[in-house]
Amino acid sequence: MSEHWLDRLQRWAPYALTPLIVLAALPAMGVGPWVTLTVAGLTMGIMLFLVASGLTLIFGLMDVLNFAHAAFVTVGAYVTVSVLRPLAGWTTEFSLTLNLIALLVALVSAAAASGALGFVFERVIIRQVYGAPLRQILITIGALTVIEQLVIVLWGPQALVLPKPASLRGSVFLGSSPIETYRLVALAVGLAVAVAMHLFLTRTRLGLVVRAGVEDREMVQSLGYHIRRVFIGVFMAGTALAGMGGMMWGQYQELVTSQIGDSMTILVFIILIIGGLGSVGGCFIGAILVGLTTNYVGFLAPKLALGSNILLMALILLWQPRGLFPLAEH
Amino acid sequence: MTGADDDALLRLDGIHTDIGRYRILHGVNLTARRGRVTALLGRNGAGKTTTLRTIMGLWKARQGRIIFDGQSIAAMDTPHIARLGIAYVPENMGIFGKLTVRENMLLATAPNGFAEPYLNRVLESFPALKLKWDSAAGSLSGGQKQMLAIGRAIVEPRRLLLVDEPTKGLSPAMVDQLVAALRRLKSEQTTILLVEQNFRVAEAIGDDVAVMDEGRIIHSGDMAALAADEALQHRLLGLRMAAGL
DSSP calls for A243-279: HHHHHHHHHHHTEE-TTTTHHHHHHHHHHHHHH-TT-
**Option in A209, A222, A225 nearest B94 (CB):** A222
| B88 at A interface, C-beta within 8 A | yes
Type and span of the H or E element at A188: helix A181-203
Dump pLDDT digits (tens) for A99-134: 999 999 999 999 999 999 999 999 999 999 988 989
* B94 interaction partners in chain A (CB closer than 8 Å): 216, 218-219, 222
Residue A160 is given by DSSP the state E
| Phi, psi (degrees; rounded to nearest 5) at A24 | -65, -30
* A327 interaction partners in chain B (CB closer than 8 Å): 98
Instruction: Give the per-residue pLDDT at A121.
Output: 96
Contact A78/A84 with Cβ under 8 angstroms?
Answer: no
**Option in B82, B99, B152 nearest A211 (CB):** B99
Task: State whether A223 and B82 contact (CB < 8 Å).
Answer: yes
Q: Please, which pLDDT band fits residue B80 given cuts at 50, 70 and 90? A: very high
Question: Is the pTM value of this prediction over 0.90?
Answer: no
> Residue type for B217, please?
I
- Could you tell me whether strands A171-174 and A177-180 are parallel, antiparallel, or unpaired per DSSP bridges? antiparallel
Cα–Cα dist A286/A240, whole Å:
20
> Residue type for A211, please?
R
ipTM attached to this prediction: 0.91
Cα–Cα dist B90/A161, whole Å:
57
Dump pLDDT digits (tens) for A292-328: 999 999 999 998 888 899 999 999 999 999 899 876 5
CA distances from A103 to A93, A94, A160, A164, A244 (A): 13, 14, 17, 9, 11
Instruction: Give the per-residue pLDDT at A61.
Output: 79
Dump pLDDT digits (tens) for A48-92: 999 999 898 888 878 888 999 999 999 999 999 999 999 999 999
> Residue type for A117, please?
L
Farthest-apart Cα atoms in chain B, separation: 52
| B4 at A interface, C-beta within 8 A | no
Q: Which candidate, B43, B47, B66, B69, places its Cα nearest to that of B56?
A: B66
Task: Give me the helix-helix angle, B172-187 and B116-125, nearest 10°.
Answer: 150
Dump pLDDT digits (tens) for B101-144: 999 999 999 988 999 999 999 999 899 999 999 999 999 999 99
Instruction: Give the per-residue pLDDT at B239.
Output: 58
Dump pLDDT digits (tens) for B42-55: 988 899 999 999 99
To the nearest whole number, what is the mean pLDDT of chain A?
A: 92
| Residue ranges of B 127-166 with Cβ closer than 8 A to chain A | 152
* B88 interaction partners in chain A (CB closer than 8 Å): 222
Count of CB contacts below 8 A, A vs B?
A: 53
| Closest-approach residue (CA) in chain A for B154 | A223
Chain centroid, CA B18 distance in Å: 21
Q: Is A103 exposed, middle or buried (0-12, 13-18, 19+ CB in 10 A)?
A: buried
- CB neighbours of A237 closer than 8 A, spacing ≥ 6? A54, A57, A115
Cα–Cα dist A36/A40, whole Å:
6
- Could you tell me whether strands B8-19 and B61-68 are parallel, antiparallel, or unpaired per DSSP bridges? antiparallel
Instruction: Give the per-residue pLDDT at A330.
Output: 44
**Option in B83, B97, B99 nearest A224 (CB):** B83
Q: Please, which pLDDT band fits residue B237 given cuts at 50, 70 and 90? A: confident
Instruction: Give the per-residue pLDDT at A67.
Output: 93
% of chain A exceeding 90 in pLDDT: 76
